Structure 1
């Protein structure tokens, strides 16, 4: 692995971020420019940035903290998407599709966290 860009969890979150930027943000009205629109973009950016920062850390426990932050950002994205749907800014079909991408990103990230946790467990040799 050369960079964080090779991580499947980063790739999935990056794809989600691009979908949000290209398909969702333009549908949110300007009256939400500094509220929902900005928060959604910040959360999407945070999801990928925290994975990148975690990858760059030396110690597993330090890295894991950033992966957990990314997981929180993905949850925040999902909450903002629900808000956008409930306010009728996005159609139900688009919401469902992006919601699925968000959940997929969470599952991939959870799998990576589980993998790292198992890999870094201390041996219990007696």
Structure 2
């Protein structure tokens, strides 16, 4: 089994999280900033935590948490765009990345679950 650092989905999620932190650093709405950066950070963190667990069932659970966080992040991006905190071009790019991460996680979850069947 690969290390989490070798997973393309973890790499993409970690990059997106870093981008969110950099872009939101100056935002004065601390509640929104903290929520969106936490959702972004939760994705690669849950992937990593899952891959450090002992069983495929645990791995799949944490990958599901990561996928849920990707949905939460997309929601916050949409809202951030609507209220003017996130430029539309930046938001569209982040939405595409978050959707891609979600699809990758879906495939990885299916793969892990098939090992336990």
TM-score of the aligned structures, taking structure 1 as reference length:
0.85
Q: 2:3 matched to 1:3?
A: yes
Provide the residue aligned with 1:63 in structure 2: 59
CA apart distance, 1:2? 5.2
1:85 equivalenced with 2:81 (yes/no) = yes
Secondary structure at 1:57 match in 2: coil
What 5-or-longer segments of structure 1 have no aligned partner? 122-126
Contact 2:40 2:70 survives alignment (8 Å): yes
What is the CA-CA distance between 1:21 and the residue it aligns to?
Answer: 1.7
Query: Unaligned regions of 5+ residues in structure 2, if any?
Result: none
Residue 34 of structure 2 is matched in structure 1 by 38
Q: What displacement does 1:48 show?
A: 1.0
Q: How many residues align?
A: 117
Residue 90 of structure 1 aligns to a residue whose secondary structure is coil
> Following the alignment from structure 2 to structure 1, what is the Cα–Cα distance between the partners of residues 68 and 22?
22
Deviation per CA, 1:49-89, whole angstroms, max 9, x where unpaired?
11111001111111211111111111111111111101011
Q: Tell me how far 1:7 sits from its aligned partner.
A: 1.2
Task: Give yes or no for contact 1:13–1:105 (8 Å, CA) kept in 2.
Answer: yes
Structure 1 vs Structure 2 CA RMSD: 1.4
Please list every run of at least 4 consecutive aligned residues from structure 1 whose deviation after the TM superposition is greater than 2 angstroms. none
